[in-house]
Amino acid sequence: MSASQIVLDPSISPLIELGYEVAITKGHLMVLNVPYVDSNKLVRRGTLVCNLGTTICPMGPPPHHQAWFVGDVPCYASGMPMEGLISQRGPIHLWEGMVASVYFSNKPIGVSQFATYAQKMQHYIGLIEAQAGVIEHGVSAKTRKNYSYSKEAEVFKYEDMASVRAAIIAVTDKLRTEKIGLIGLGGTGSYILDLVSKTPVGEIHMYDGDQFETHNAFRAPGAASAEDLARKLSKVEYFAERYAPMRNGIVSHNCRITADNLQLLSELDFVFVAVDSGPSRRLICEYLQAVGIPFIDVGMDLQMNQESIGLHGMFRVTLSTPEQHKHFFESVPTFNDEGDDLYRSNIQVADMNMCNAAHAVICWKQYRSFYLEHRRSHHRVFTVFDQKLHLRVVASKEIE
């Protein structure tokens, strides 16, 4: 649903009809130029913001009664803060360039839920504006300006309301401009794709020259049909079709990365390497280090215990960055194929693949400061037998 359609929804349109200056952006409703009193008893103008519960019209009532205010802390005409409205003080980073001073939580006596977004916004505007009117008679938020809406380059084909509801857009935006490469769409690589596709990265470039076959269906996200398998699609074609309904920016490269086409990786911001060939890993990772592209390499090794008739093994996540990379070839096998023949026989261990992918994506998000970390781990190994995660933090003397 476009922002221009949302503002015409019956839950919001009365604000425009009354002359308020309305804007829609990033899943949020804003009323601009709201007059308020600051601590110096001066009348100023700020922005009232609330997140939308959905972008599907008709929108219905708002899911809660809270809202943010961008400007100084609104005060009574006396210059004292309007504490009765304030639930939390800022700064509260909503998204880049939009920092709220306070979070409001208030509703009229006897009202359990606002019926419309217009009613909710008018409630807060009326309280704030009334104090400004004591100092400057007739001041009003009804500027009679046309409504506006932002039309950003859309990654998702519908709004990411989860980030909106959780108020973490400022955090999520750290991933927005990324151009990600994913080399290998096997068991772990396909789960990395699934997780990264649900972030607002601008482009996801997939590199794999194999066909999507029956064994792939048992170690990839979702459920492929027999008809899908009968079409004999390449892996990149299959996954591009799977994720196209959700997002834009998926770019398919139906090829393996070799010495002849390494330059395909040169414009990427970050790369996930999910190949099971040691020599291919060395070729790719040496190139990425040479051109200064950060990357994460993943690997797995499983073995059969004939006495217990069960499996044991490990998975690995290794981060290399332009600042810290000398540890990489000391930690990762790149001359011989990693692991034994059991894993490379396309064994069905989607749970291990999924865990390996999840740790890789968490590591990437920590590198981009989406998740905070006490100390950066550059090499992570999980052993399934003792259920331990072993972390290696590169010391400064190893970085030089």
- Reported as a single tens digit per residue, the pLDDT across 20-52 is 999 888 889 999 999 999 999 999 999 999 998
The pLDDT of residue 117 is: 95
**Cα dist. 266→91, 270, 286, 293, 316 in Å?**
39, 10, 13, 8, 25
Please tell me the pTM assigned to this model: 0.75
Residue 229: other Cβ atoms inside 10 A = 16
Strands (E), 220-330: 250-253, 270-273, 295-305, 310-320
User: In the numeric block, which tokens belong to residue 380?
Assistant: 């992570």
Each residue's pLDDT tens digit, 119-155: 999 999 999 999 999 999 999 999 988 766 555 557 8
The region, left, alpha or beta by phi > 0 then psi within -120 to 50, assigned to residue 138 is left
Distance CA 327, CA 339 (A): 20
Each residue's pLDDT tens digit, 240-259: 999 999 999 999 999 999 99
Mean pLDDT of 160-189: 85
Decide if 94 contacts 67 (C-beta within 8 A). Answer: no
User: In the numeric block, which tokens belong to residue 49?
Assistant: 């913001």
Q: Which domains does the chain have, with CATH numbers?
A: 3-169 (no CATH), 177-399 (3.40.50.720)
pLDDT at 396 over 50: no
The pLDDT of residue 205 is: 98
- Beta bridge partner(s), residue 98: 95
